Chains A and B, each alone.
Chain A
Amino acid sequence: MLLGLLERYWENKMLPQHLIAKVEDYSKKYKISDKDQKEILKRVEEIYNKAKISPGESIGVITAESFGEPSTQMTLNTFHFAGVAEMNVTVGLPRLIEIFDARKRPSTPRMEIPIKSKYSRTVEAVREVAMKIKETKLGDIAQEISINIAKATIEIVLDKKKMRDLDIKPKLVLDKIAEGLKSVDVKDNDSSVILKSKEKEISLSEVYKLKEKAKSIHIRGLQGVTHVLPVKGDDGNYIIHCAGSNLKDALLLEEAEKERIMTNDIFEISDVLGVEAARAAIINEANKVIKDQGIDIDIRHVMFLADVMTRSGTVKGVTRTGIVGEKESVLARASFETPIKHIVNASLVGEKDNLNSVVENVIINQPVPLGTGLPGLIAKMKKD
């Protein structure tokens, strides 16, 4: 009987699930009788129905206001310090702008990779994992990279100690060089690696370019991760904070707890995991900024904006090239930015503006189709 009542509410969608769940929790906790529960549900439903949003509510404007008003109170040039200067994160208004603009790359990409408990028993083990995650380039493990001008070759002296520290085998280095530079022959002397171009004639500047290219050859780790910082999490397992983000490769890591990897790069999430994940990421990231600034904005507004940004299937920014630029109304687009361009382009195809959104109607002095401007009345006229 007890479950039956709750089930009825659930099945008929008379209440949102979280409210039913709450009632159920309390009922169990305080051993509420069926009669009381019925009364409680009745009252909750009554209050819920009163609090439902009215049709016609201009929810878009309300959301814009909810972000716009407090954004004037946010701080601008604050950085979050995680100890190291390179590990800083953009926060506050600049970060919020970054999220809503849907920039392709965040200005400070960051990733958090939790380590499986198996690998996080000792500090050394964690350190080892961390070094595996951090990107190592050829330049990092080379003692010296020099150009032999006479022979037009590049000589790389590897730092054996560093390589031992990082647990990198010379074989791997050679393979990676061969892979990264297809136009050179790689010769392995005992003390050094010599690169020689496959082409016979090669100018010095080209050799120099090759040297620079060689320096940045990726040897190991996640590409783009420039710094790592292991931090002990609440559960005793380590979390590796990374400056730079590479979700795709991080997911292939054996040591990582894949389900809990976090990155602040929304586009990467969109590419790797899809739009729904990107939507969740937008909500998370925006919420983080809001919470961090001590501002109260209801989650519904954040969800709503994330929905608007992702509804087309890809992440779109709140910019003239993103959401605003894709409005159907010419006048709405023209009154936002670059009006001439929009009008000229509209004239080419004979675009028709059906005046069904807001600014167009403001422009021609008609009621706006929101709120009280939405309903129309049709009266049956008596025939004389």
Chain B
Amino acid sequence: MVENYVYKKVDSVVFGMMSPELVKKMACAKVVTPELYDKEGYPVDGGLMDIRLGVIDPGLRCKTCGGNLRDCMGHFGYLELARPIIHLKYADVILNFLRCSCRECGKLLTDKKVKIAVEEDEGAEHHAEEEAGEDEVSTKKQVKSITSSLRNVKKCPHCGAKQFQVKLERPTTFLEDDKRLNPIDIRTRLERISDSDIAFLGLDPSFARPEWMVLIILPVPPVTIRPSITLETGERSEDDLTHKLGDIVRINQRLFENINAGAPEIIIEDLWDLLQYHITTYFDNEVSQVPPARHRSGQALRTLTERIKSKEGRFRHNLAGKRVNYAARTVISPDSKMELNEVGVPIEVAMELTVPERVVEWNLKRLKKFVENGPKKYVGSNYVVRPDGKKKKITDETQEQLLEELQPGYIVERHLMDGDIVIFNRQPTLHRMSIMAHRVRVLPGKSFRLNPAICNPYNADFDGDEMNLHVPQTEEARAEAEILMEVQTQIITPKSGLNVIGCSDDAITGNYLLTKNIKMSKEDAVQMLHSVGVLNIERFDKFKKTVDGKEIFSAILPDGFDFSGYSKSKEPIVIKNGYLIEGVIDKSTIGQDKGDLIRALYAKYGSSVGLDLLGKIFRLGIAVLLKHGFTTSIADTDLPQEVSDKCKETIYNSERRVAQLIEQYSSGELEALPGLTLEATLEAKIMEVLNRCRQRVGEIIAESNLEENSTLVMALSGAKGSYLNLSMIAACVGQQALRGKRIELGYRGRTLSIFTKGELSPRAKGFIKRGYKEGLTPEEYFMHAMTGRDSLMDTALRTPKSGYLYRRLASALQDIRVEYDNTVRDANQNIVQFIYGEDGLDVSKTEGGKINVARIIREVLGE
């Protein structure tokens, strides 16, 4: 069998500058003309699109390597510049060298004695390095002190020549004693600097000679990195880089001609400057004080620096993030009948995505069937790969031939089938639970289906969310996905050690009602359990004529399972030998984040069984609601007359109290609290009264023992809503706060023009005394809208901020791992921690970050 062994690996990447000799050596063509194509539309020899630089047109062959569009990756050319040009990005380095070296003899403006003195300034810690030898490259810090000390040397200690101050006028003009230095002179000066002096100034002379920073030869990048696009009209549109290079070549030619013709110095200088401008913008079109080069349309050109930089640049767009094949994306919709680790895949998608399967003796028949079915019939295949690596598409023409030659060693790319492992993902991928492996379930329809129980880790809902699906293509990838990424392995988050997957909404309500007060006939119970996937016949046999809800719930639990915990309302829950004896199941037992029962099942029976049980509990909850019926209406929030009156009274009293306070304030009776002004005191007191009012209203409703209705059931079970929500609907919305204060009066002394100026009453500063059901008055509605808008803004402003923080954290920490010796180290083996988290525990394997010693003791002593 042919295998794609990895026999070469990139070991390291070295960065350095290119010498003119190197540029020439690696170039395949010399560019001499700005023309691109001749009359026939064929690339001109010596032009920028020379086919020695690679091919971008189908049909042509590269003159250098002979490859066609696919094989040839392009070759560099070079352009001989008529006059030297300063490399923009190295201008600062050049300046340093000019300042530190003698203008006559090129030696460093210091003799050895000074050198040593400078080094000693650096302190003892560098001492060992300095003695290592003369050619040793100085550290960055040393260089800084050397250069600053040599800046103002007036006389060369070696030849005695007088030195002038050199200045850099950004971006690329050098001035010496206010006279312009031309690049030719700069280059000759830089050439004179010795290798050891270069090393002393912190550069490695074998990688970067300073005179290389003044270009005399410009490498021309291969055409493959600047392909032209052919428009529908047949017209060619060239890449920005080609445009820019065209300008450079054109001016360069003009400069050559003028020099040869012996043109006046001024004209040559002008052209030289123009060439400098073009090469500067070729490197970076966003240099300050340089007008960016533009298209005819006025749009700035995207030249080299812009290509590399920023989010859309080469690094972040193409290198750190890559495009893939074998992926699909569509809308998601819920299907609670599926298992939690399944994903419903539309048949159209399943017929497009493929899994490569190698033909061996034993599966030949099966795979033959797939090839026979072809790409149009489900469970077919789209491609066959021959052992020599040739990929053949299955079409009506090729089908028979392929079927004939199919034999062990071939690879068939068959359609996605039930049970295949795929990777499912929803953006933003904020944590590892945002991308998990699922089992395929091919279904009719056009959307991905997923169990609503796993919405939480993906942070998904079904209001139009789309998700991505990827098919791993190698055995290794599939194994990793299955063992490390499948849903059941991700139940507990490493963030806090709590379960991110659990029941939610109706599933909680259903189980709550079931375990609280539902009884049903044996037939119904068995029917319901079976529909949910529970087939525990021994338990079914034990059912009496009417079955209690607790017993129905218990039918899911395995025999011998013991559990004790507390419900949301702190009442004990006891499960013994697989039977729920006491207590009501609610959010704190089966919910997300703190579902103790889920944790216990997971801990005892392992991930797969735990996930299966969770799926059953989830479906049971929904089945109960289906059978029992559950709805919530606005009438659920009706309060009995006396409760309602009590609330009204509380609000009235508070308003009275505030009025009193304002009265006291205006009559000067109010006393300031320590450290507060009188106004602030009043404000603080009013706030306190109003907040207490809101709280009190909530308490009245909570204490009033309302008849248990659907809204309340949802709040009590923890499925959705709370007493706070209820009281806001039924009684009083409360104070609207902006930046922690009541709504401010603003420049005109009032919030709305219906109030008198300076009015401090609750309603003038955003207290809403009505409930949502009663309805808000216009001014209340306005205040409510204010806080609503504020929170919208908050969200909009927060997302990019937290996104940036996350990116920085990820960049800083990505290479840190636990080593085999249990130390935590970064990629260069520097130790961060001697043992992770001071006890070496993996948070995702603990219970909320801890090991539950108490439970172990109970287990040991309990027997």
With a cutoff of 8 Å between Cβ atoms, the chain B residues found around residue A53 in the complex are 818, 822, 836-837, 840-842, 845
Q: In the bound complex, do residue B817 and residue A40 qualify as a contact, i.e. CB atoms below 8 Å apart?
A: no
Of A53, A346, A359, most buried by chain B (CB within 10 Å of CB) is A53
With a cutoff of 8 Å between Cβ atoms, the chain A residues found around residue B827 in the complex are 328-329, 356-358, 369
Bound Cα distance from A360 to B320, whole angstroms: 8
For window 280-299 of chain B, which residues contact chain A by CB distance below 8 Å?
284
Contacts A51-B841, A55-B818, A64-B814 given: A364-B801 contact, CB under 8 Å?
A: no
With a cutoff of 8 Å between Cβ atoms, the chain A residues found around residue B496 in the complex are 66, 296-298
Select which of A22, A55, A93, A311 is within 8 A of B801 by beta carbon.
A93
Select which of B494, B806, B828, B854 is within 8 A of A68 by beta carbon.
B806
Whether A161 sits at the interface, judged by CB under 8 Å, is no
Q: In the bound complex, do residue B15 and residue A343 qualify as a contact, i.e. CB atoms below 8 Å apart?
A: yes
Per the CB 8 Å criterion, the residue count for chain A at the interface is: 110
Question: What distance in Å separates the Cβ of A297 from its nearest Cβ neighbour in chain B?
Answer: 6
Whether A349 sits at the interface, judged by CB under 8 Å, is yes
Question: What distance in Å separates the Cβ of B559 from its nearest Cβ neighbour in chain A?
Answer: 22
Whether A131 sits at the interface, judged by CB under 8 Å, is no
With a cutoff of 8 Å between Cβ atoms, the chain A residues found around residue B675 in the complex are 83-84, 227, 229
Whether A334 sits at the interface, judged by CB under 8 Å, is yes
Whether B42 sits at the interface, judged by CB under 8 Å, is no
Over the window 74-85 of chain A, the binary record of Cβ atoms lying under 8 Å from chain B Cβ atoms (1 yes, 0 no) is 111111010111
Q: In the bound complex, do residue A50 and residue B845 qualify as a contact, i.e. CB atoms below 8 Å apart?
A: yes
Contacts A69-B431, A348-B17, A352-B14 given: A60-B817 contact, CB under 8 Å?
A: yes
Whether B305 sits at the interface, judged by CB under 8 Å, is yes
- Select the stretch in A139-147, A206-214, A267-275, A300-308 that faces chain B: A300-308
Whether B853 sits at the interface, judged by CB under 8 Å, is yes
With a cutoff of 8 Å between Cβ atoms, the chain A residues found around residue B849 in the complex are 298-300
Of A69, A97, A339, A354, most buried by chain B (CB within 10 Å of CB) is A69
With a cutoff of 8 Å between Cβ atoms, the chain B residues found around residue A67 in the complex are 805-806, 809
Q: In the bound complex, do residue A370 and residue B89 qualify as a contact, i.e. CB atoms below 8 Å apart?
A: no
Whether A177 sits at the interface, judged by CB under 8 Å, is no
Select which of B207, B484, B810, B861 is within 8 A of A349 by beta carbon.
B207
Q: In the bound complex, do residue B842 and residue A57 qualify as a contact, i.e. CB atoms below 8 Å apart?
A: yes
With a cutoff of 8 Å between Cβ atoms, the chain B residues found around residue A68 in the complex are 430-431, 802, 805-806, 809-810
Over the window 325-338 of chain A, the binary record of Cβ atoms lying under 8 Å from chain B Cβ atoms (1 yes, 0 no) is 00111111011100
Q: In the bound complex, do residue B853 and residue A19 qualify as a contact, i.e. CB atoms below 8 Å apart?
A: yes
Over the window 771-810 of chain B, the binary record of Cβ atoms lying under 8 Å from chain A Cβ atoms (1 yes, 0 no) is 0000000000000000000000010011101110110111
Of B207, B208, B798, B845, most buried by chain A (CB within 10 Å of CB) is B798
Q: In the bound complex, do residue A44 and residue B740 qualify as a contact, i.e. CB atoms below 8 Å apart?
A: no
Identify the closest chain B residue to A353 (Cβ). B13
Q: In the bound complex, do residue B805 and residue A43 qualify as a contact, i.e. CB atoms below 8 Å apart?
A: no
Identify the closest chain A residue to B844 (Cβ). A62
With a cutoff of 8 Å between Cβ atoms, the chain A residues found around residue B495 in the complex are 65-66, 69-70, 296-298, 301
Whether A374 sits at the interface, judged by CB under 8 Å, is yes
With a cutoff of 8 Å between Cβ atoms, the chain B residues found around residue A58 in the complex are 814, 816-817
Identify the closest chain B residue to A344 (Cβ). B89
Q: In the bound complex, do residue A363 and residue B319 qualify as a contact, i.e. CB atoms below 8 Å apart?
A: yes
Of B206, B432, B799, B802, most buried by chain A (CB within 10 Å of CB) is B802
Bound Cα distance from A286 to B818, whole angstroms: 23
Whether B758 sits at the interface, judged by CB under 8 Å, is no
Q: In the bound complex, do residue B842 and residue A48 qualify as a contact, i.e. CB atoms below 8 Å apart?
A: no
- Select the stretch in A163-171, A190-198, A316-324 that faces chain B: A316-324
Question: What distance in Å separates the Cβ of A48 from its nearest Cβ neighbour in chain B?
Answer: 6
Question: What distance in Å separates the Cβ of A10 from its nearest Cβ neighbour in chain B?
Answer: 13
Question: What distance in Å separates the Cβ of A94 from its nearest Cβ neighbour in chain B?
Answer: 8
With a cutoff of 8 Å between Cβ atoms, the chain B residues found around residue A371 in the complex are 484, 817
Whether B38 sits at the interface, judged by CB under 8 Å, is no
Q: In the bound complex, do residue B593 and residue A351 qualify as a contact, i.e. CB atoms below 8 Å apart?
A: no
Bound Cα distance from A365 to B322, whole angstroms: 10
Q: In the bound complex, do residue A64 and residue B813 qualify as a contact, i.e. CB atoms below 8 Å apart?
A: yes
Q: Give the interface size bracket for B toward A.
A: 35 or more
Question: What distance in Å separates the Cβ of B71 from its nearest Cβ neighbour in chain A?
Answer: 19
With a cutoff of 8 Å between Cβ atoms, the chain A residues found around residue B93 in the complex are 348
Q: In the bound complex, do residue A51 and residue B845 qualify as a contact, i.e. CB atoms below 8 Å apart?
A: yes
Q: In the bound complex, do residue B811 and residue A346 qualify as a contact, i.e. CB atoms below 8 Å apart?
A: no
Whether A54 sits at the interface, judged by CB under 8 Å, is yes
Whether A59 sits at the interface, judged by CB under 8 Å, is yes
Q: In the bound complex, do residue A357 and residue B814 qualify as a contact, i.e. CB atoms below 8 Å apart?
A: yes
For window 340-384 of chain A, which residues contact chain B by CB distance below 8 Å?
340, 343-344, 346-360, 362-366, 369-372, 374
Whether B830 sits at the interface, judged by CB under 8 Å, is yes
Whether A117 sits at the interface, judged by CB under 8 Å, is no
With a cutoff of 8 Å between Cβ atoms, the chain A residues found around residue B90 in the complex are 344
Whether B653 sits at the interface, judged by CB under 8 Å, is no
Q: In the bound complex, do residue A349 and residue B432 qualify as a contact, i.e. CB atoms below 8 Å apart?
A: no
Q: In the bound complex, do residue A65 and residue B430 qualify as a contact, i.e. CB atoms below 8 Å apart?
A: yes
With a cutoff of 8 Å between Cβ atoms, the chain B residues found around residue A44 in the complex are 851, 853, 856
Whether A96 sits at the interface, judged by CB under 8 Å, is yes
Contacts A69-B495, A340-B309 given: A298-B843 contact, CB under 8 Å?
A: yes
Question: What distance in Å separates the Cβ of A285 from its nearest Cβ neighbour in chain B?
Answer: 15
Question: What distance in Å separates the Cβ of B592 from its nearest Cβ neighbour in chain A?
Answer: 12
With a cutoff of 8 Å between Cβ atoms, the chain A residues found around residue B645 in the complex are none
With a cutoff of 8 Å between Cβ atoms, the chain A residues found around residue B822 in the complex are 52-53, 55
Question: What distance in Å separates the Cβ of A234 from its nearest Cβ neighbour in chain B?
Answer: 20
Whether A56 sits at the interface, judged by CB under 8 Å, is yes
Whether A47 sits at the interface, judged by CB under 8 Å, is yes
Whether B859 sits at the interface, judged by CB under 8 Å, is yes
Bound Cα distance from A186 to B820, whole angstroms: 71
Whether B203 sits at the interface, judged by CB under 8 Å, is yes
Whether A251 sits at the interface, judged by CB under 8 Å, is no
Select which of B430, B815, B848 is within 8 A of A60 by beta carbon.
B815
Bound Cα distance from A346 to B17, whole angstroms: 9
Q: In the bound complex, do residue A335 and residue B315 qualify as a contact, i.e. CB atoms below 8 Å apart?
A: yes
25 residue pairs from A and B, CB less than 8 Å apart = A16-B839, A26-B857, A36-B860, A47-B851, A56-B820, A59-B817, A61-B813, A64-B814, A65-B495, A67-B805, A68-B802, A71-B802, A77-B794, A84-B676, A96-B805, A296-B495, A298-B837, A300-B838, A304-B837, A339-B313, A339-B315, A340-B309, A346-B15, A357-B814, A369-B817
Across chains A and B, which 10 residue pairs bring their CB atoms closest together, nearest first? Answer: A350-B207, A68-B806, A60-B816, A60-B813, A300-B837, A357-B827, A357-B815, A16-B839, A346-B15, A296-B496
- Please name 12 further chain A to chain B contacts, defined as beta carbons within 8 Å, in addition to the given A229-B675, A335-B319, sorted by A numbering: A19-B839, A40-B860, A53-B837, A53-B841, A69-B495, A85-B680, A303-B838, A347-B17, A352-B13, A353-B15, A356-B815, A370-B817
